[in-house]
Amino acid sequence: MIKLFFILMALTLPLKWVYTVDETKCNGCGNCLYGCSEGAISLVGGDAWIDPELCTGCGNCVYFCPRDAIYRVWYTGVEGVEEPSGGLSLSANPVAAGSVVILGVEPCTEVLILDGFGRAVTHGLADPEGTLELDVSRLPAGSYRVVAGEEALVISVI
Ligand code: SF4
Ligand code: SF4
């Protein structure tokens, strides 16, 4: 009977393995961004964050982390996606050629994208919802900093 219960649970829950980040170990180096082709990893508030809805559980990012900060957990989806609060986030990271949507910005704040030399390569103004879309299609592949007021995160354009 108990076995049957667990079998029924397994059939009804959208259970899957995903990977998550131990914030006490993560130093925000951003290496893991290069390991994820699903765009599931963002750097938010100085730490990596993996969107469980996008993560396929392939485990590739683990090999890119020098601090052993990424580990596997069961994700049922029933709690919904717990997004990091109070920080910038991106629609996808790494960003494939095209545009990137930046979320969680203070309304009407200017957002800059800086290259490795600290030069602003593009910029725009967040809307009253704290969102904006920036064209990154002409940027060479590489890492860039997205800066909005006091907050910053790293994006990889691929
Ligand atoms: S496990 Fe795979 S899909 Fe999930 S974050 Fe790591 S590299 Fe991306
Ligand atoms: S590679 Fe590891 S330490 Fe670096 S940002 Fe990713 S999880 Fe954090």
Write the Ramachandran bin of 39: left for phi over 0, alpha for psi from -120 to 50, otherwise beta.
left
Q: What is the pLDDT of residue 4?
A: 47
Q: What is the pLDDT of residue 65?
A: 95
- Selection from 50, 140, 126 nearest residue 92 by Cα: 50
Q: Whose CA is nearest to atom 8 of ligand 1?
A: 36
Q: What is the pLDDT of residue 133?
A: 93
pLDDT by 10-residue block (mean), the chain, 158 residues: 48 73 90 86 80 89 95 72 62 79 88 84 92 91 82 78
Q: What is the pLDDT of residue 103?
A: 85
The arrangement of secondary structure in 89-157, i.e. its CATH architecture, is: Sandwich (2.60)
Is ligand 1 within 6 A of the CB of residue 35? Answer: yes
CATH number belonging to domain 2-75: 3.30.70.20
Q: Write down the domain spans for the chain.
A: 2-75, 89-157
Q: What is the pLDDT of residue 49?
A: 86
Is ligand 2 within 6 A of the CB of residue 32? Answer: yes
Q: Which ligand 2 atom is at minimum distance from the Cα of 21?
A: 7
